[in-house]
Amino acid sequence: MELRYQESAEEAAQVARQALPFASKHNLPANPVNYAVFYEYIIGSNASFCLELERILKEKNLTQVQIEDLYQRYIAQENEKSNRQAQEQLRNIMLNALSSIIDTDSDSTQYQKKLSESMINLEQDHDFSETRSFVAQIIKDTHMMASSTAQLQQNLNQANLEITELRQKFERTRHEALTDPLTGLTNRRGFDAALLEIRKESEANKQNMALVIIDIDHFKAVNDKFGHTTGDEVLKYVAATLREVVRGNDIATRYGGEEFAIILPETDLEGAHTVANNIRKRICRAPIGRKASQEIIGTITISAGVGQLKHQEEINTLIERTDTALYDAKNQGRNRVCFAK
């Protein structure tokens, strides 16, 4: 899976400079949760999230309760310990950077005051030694200001590095939250988010979108006879087959239990049927064995339903139609693919 956040350190810092005024505009504190929501909105990588936030902004004032809700549904990670650590790091980065800016601003104000005083003194009559003393002091103050500015730049560069590392940590945690640990495929939570986003893109661009739902035939019998360890190997075998067949833009998921689903952007019903049938043929082609004993347990078959998104059709309706097609395949003898009506 590609990294969700791919901005450079400089770009991330620029986003931060936009996020903080955004918080101030809506009279909200720039705490880690709010910052994450503002960051996500400014980079605009999640279309469904941006649309929902823009709808809230148009209808009413943005509240802390709404931000917490958006954060939990679109950004929150399942690993709470990692999340809390990342939030604390972000808080420290922001405080350090802000402290550097305040210190430098204070130094700049003091420098301007000293420079003004020196200019006034130079307008008066002084002997050479006094004038030389004024110039020496100006040079000293200028060096101090340059040093302060350099320190600010160094601190901001360090903050950029830490923000980049933190963003990568957030991405790793998010990836884990959306990935099924057994098969390595996208999990149900990731499936729901991806299906909603791809459906909106397909409607907006007037493109086809298809869905495949797959179920392993007689999987319970495999678990009962050979044990759950063997059952897990069967699940991983099916997942590996899905990865071999799907294209780059397709999203293969473990839908739940022994069910899998594939989201197929820019694909019509016939194309989805071809994909599902290719998977079915590959899976039943080779016998499955137990790793520990090398015992052959037989061949595995799947049943599948395929459906194509209709114009302005709700997601739940598409899933229900495709799921009905899957059960048609089961009722007709299994090891086959059926079209959704």
Chain segment 208-245, per-residue pLDDT in tens: 999 999 999 999 998 888 888 888 999 999 999 999 99
Domain presence at residue 3: no
Banded model confidence at residue 176, pLDDT cuts 50, 70, 90: confident
Question: Which of 25-29, 128-132, 259-263, 301-305 has the least mean pLDDT?
Answer: 128-132
User: CA-to-CA distance for 206 and 266, rounded, in angstroms?
Assistant: 9
Give the count of alpha carbons within 13 A of 97, CB side only: 19
The tens digit of pLDDT for each residue in 97-119 reads 545 544 555 555 565 555 555 55
Strands (E), 142-285: 209-216, 251-256, 259-265
Q: Are residues 204 and 323 in the same domain?
A: yes
Complete edge-to-edge strand list for the sheet that includes strand 337-339: 251-256, 259-265, 209-216, 302-308, 337-339
Instruction: Give, in order, the Cα–Cα distances in Å from 146 to each of 53, 108, 150.
Output: 43, 10, 6
Residues 134 and 46 both lie in one domain: no
Say what angle helices 9-25 and 128-177 make with each other, to 10 degrees.
90
Checking if the pLDDT of 196 tops 60, the result is: yes
Could you identify the residue written with the tokens 């405080």? 95
- In this structure, the answer to whether residues 102 and 194 fall within a common structural domain is no
The reported pLDDT for the residue numbered 128 is 47
Q: pLDDT averaged over the chain? A: 79
- Both 86 and 218 in one domain: the answer is no
Query: Are 67 and 204 in the same domain?
Result: no
At residue 174 the predicted structure's pLDDT band, cuts being 50, 70 and 90, is confident
Given a cut of 60, whether residue 92 has pLDDT beyond it is: no
| pLDDT score recorded for residue 248 | 86
pLDDT at residue number 79 = 41
Residues 67 and 86 in one domain: no
* Domain match, 333 and 204 both: yes
Host domain of residue 37 = 9-74
Instruction: Give the pLDDT band of residue 58 (cuts 50, 70, 90).
Output: confident
pLDDT for 77 beyond 70: no
Q: Tell me the per-residue pLDDT of 238-295, one tens digit each, with 9 for 90 and over.
A: 999 999 999 889 999 999 889 999 999 999 999 999 999 999 999 998 777 666 666 7
55 vs 253 pLDDT, higher one: 253
Most confident option among 59-68, 143-152, 265-274? 265-274
What are 5's strand-pairing partners?
none
Distances (CA, A) of 135 to 117, 131, 149, 194: 12, 6, 21, 66
Q: Which of 28, 47, 74 is the last residue of a domain?
A: 74
Do residue 96 and residue 173 come from a single domain? yes
The catalytic residue positions are 258
User: Does some domain include residue 95?
Assistant: yes
Q: Within a domain: residue 51?
A: yes
More confident residue, 147 or 308: 308
**Residue 1 domain-assigned (yes or no):** no
Q: Which two tokens stand for residue 125?
A: 């009559």
Per-residue exposure over 239-277, b if at least 16 CB sit within 10 Å of its own CB, e if not: bebbeebbeeebbbbbbeebbbbbbbbbbebeebbebbe
The pLDDT value recorded for residue 199 is 93
Number of compact structural domains in the chain: 3
Residues 133 and 40 in one domain: no
Q: Which of 149, 177, 205 corresponds to the end of one domain?
A: 177
Confidence class of residue 147 from pLDDT cuts 50, 70 and 90?
low
Residue 4, domain member (yes or no): no
**Whole-number pLDDT of residue 2:** 45
pLDDT at residue 228, rounded to an integer: 86
Those residues with Cβ within 8 angstroms of residue 190's Cβ, 6 or more apart along the chain or in another chain: 178, 179, 251, 253
Sequential DSSP letters for 193-209: HHHHHHHHHHHHHT--E
The domain boundary, picked from 123, 149, 177, lies at: 177
**Residue 85 domain-assigned (yes or no):** yes
